[in-house]
Structure 1
């Protein structure tokens, strides 16, 4: 990891976070708070972008995309924009290499554990704050 890589992730992450905020507030203003459309849009856009960059890197060969571009866009911008795209890419990598059961387990464990942890954390915090 070089100082340039840290800078690329830092700047890209800032850009991605601002883009996420803009998409979220735009969706909220246009469609209201009844459905998390902003989050859905960010996740879908992030997955489409991650898929395009990953496919370009894979099928264009070793020179398809530089490490600098991958770090800036995939880790930086998309990392700030949505981590769901990284989850989706990890799942597809497992699937593409033939580890279908492992891909399915990864999805179930990731979603199940994440939901269980947030439910437990919210319940515990509520008990501490409200009694």
Structure 2
């Protein structure tokens, strides 16, 4: 049954990632992979927040909310494979500054967002 929970969350995360990237790419002409950066940073925040808050809101539900939202949704929503592909594409195009900025901003903003979600605004009472 746990696999179904993860799968259900995965459907939500994959569709959300597709929708956000599509909307951002349709609205703006982007030469930097902002959609993936946004998705990975916001996904880091969400996973941190879910980790700190789900048990506080749904203690009787056990692991189910985390399986759906943390493992399934965040796992399908964020995308390390796209991040690495886009980084390599920029390096192949000799856009070394953009590639370096992307790697470091993804890491730093992702860590900051996860920490903010886990420690900063988690409503679990900690």
Partner residue of 2:50 out of 50, 53, 69: 53
Query: Moved runs in structure 1, 4+ residues, more than 2 A?
Result: 63-66
Structure 2 gap ranges (5+): 81-109, 116-126
Q: Confirm or deny that 1:73 pairs with 2:69.
A: yes
TM-score by length of 1: 0.54
Partner residue of 2:36 out of 24, 35, 39: 39
- List per-residue Cα deviations over 1:10-52 (Å, max 9, x = no partner): 1111110010000111111112231111101111211111111
Change (3 A) 1:50 1:65: farther
Q: Confirm or deny that 1:5 pairs with 2:9.
A: no
TM-score by length of 2: 0.56
Structure whose alpha-carbon radius of gyration is higher = 1
Partner residue of 2:13 out of 6, 12, 16: 16
Q: Distance in 2 between matches of 1:79 and 1:64?
A: 23
Q: How many residues are aligned here?
A: 86
Higher RCO (CA 8 Å, separation ≥ 6 residues): 2
